[in-house]
Amino acid sequence: MITNFKIENFRLFDNVEIHKLKRVNLVVGKNSSGKSALLEAFLLYFSKVSIDLLMERLSSRQENWESQQNKYSQQFVSSPIRHLFKNHVVPNFAEEGFKFSSNEHSLHIRSAAYIREETEVGLTRRILKADEIEDYDYDFLDKYLILEERGISRILFSLDDDYLNIKRRSLRLKKFTSISCQFVSTSGITDAKASSLWDAISLTDLEKEVVKGIKLIEPDATGITFVENMDGPRDGRIPLVKLSNMLEPVPLKSLGDGMTRIFQIILSLVSAKDGVLIVDEFENGLHWSVQDEAWNIIFKLASKLNVQVFCSTHSRDCIASFENVWNNHKKSANFMRVVKKDGISTLKEYDLELLSDSLETDVEVR
């Protein structure tokens, strides 16, 4: 579990440091202030820049479109990765990229130039130092996005590749993190992802925890199963819920958005055992009357399963419920507010007393 986090030159963030991360962390802020970007930074950090997850994020933001500008410019203006950097521009080889660091380790993601050379062992590829680049013809350089960690450089992908080529090649890449990092977006997870997570916990005690979670919305729920989707295999299987007052199970989604949301969050949480859960807009679909108990489940399961949780919200009801539960777990939470001014996002941390006072005096904290 990380206790601090620093972001440099990533999206809207110039240089921001968080000092008091805990087991359960809630991020708030106005629309377009940088909440989702902060969660995205955590996602890339914990996954060690998983290309699969990175491509998902670019697609979800519709940042995978092709620029009509010169793709061979040294600024890589057409690379889909450009949107992750400040001002939507990939830095040149001699410039720093964006960095994530914590008490655990640091990651530096930047562009780099490689040259192919003949050596005694054959043709090899060597990364060029900044003062060497001008000695080579730019068109003959191999141009990559790389990740630097603990003095070791790892190529992520070619900066000359378009989105589809990067996505295709990502299917063959080795994963470089052993921890489970689960992400629930504002729209939730796909049925295919849910069925995969369910298969991994089926017939274990973790399955029972998910059923307990959905009872928060539907007390008559006694079990869950997945069946084939009649619309075709590409849509994966769909979840059905067994209710004590009905003879046959019913589709989970027929029970409402709140039921689907709590199911996906709790399923992702138990699947993140000994890892990380990230939830964007926690309150989506959840009525204010169940949010206290929803947070209570999150706090208890996160502690029990050794999961560090990062969530965002812009709902005052959700913040109030978080504060209520935090009072019962005083050393287990952190609250952060992201603020954007002049195009740059900054961050303020609240302790429990400050958050409680702000809510009591009706100070805006969202």
Map tokens 């399955």 to a residue. 207
Is the confidence at residue 10, as pLDDT, over 80?
yes
Is the confidence at residue 77, as pLDDT, over 70?
no
Range with the poorest average pLDDT among 62-66, 93-97, 181-185, 348-352: 62-66
Rounded Cα gap, residues 68 and 66, in angstroms: 6
Q: Name the pLDDT band for 342 (thresholds 50, 70, 90).
A: confident
pLDDT at 175: 62
Rounded Cα gap, residues 357 and 8, in angstroms: 31
Rounded Cα gap, residues 316 and 313, in angstroms: 8
| Average pLDDT rounded to a whole number, residues 300-304 | 96
Q: Name the pLDDT band for 32 (thresholds 50, 70, 90).
A: confident
User: Alpha carbon of 330 to those of 3, 275, 315: distances in Å?
Assistant: 16, 22, 22
DSSP strand pairing (24-29 vs 333-341): parallel
- pTM here is 0.89
**Is 295:325 a contact under the CB 8 Å cutoff?**
yes
Q: Name the pLDDT band for 130 (thresholds 50, 70, 90).
A: confident
Rounded Cα gap, residues 217 and 259, in angstroms: 6
Per-residue model confidence as pLDDT tens digits over 134-192? 888 877 888 888 999 988 999 888 887 777 777 776 666 666 666 899 999 999 999 88
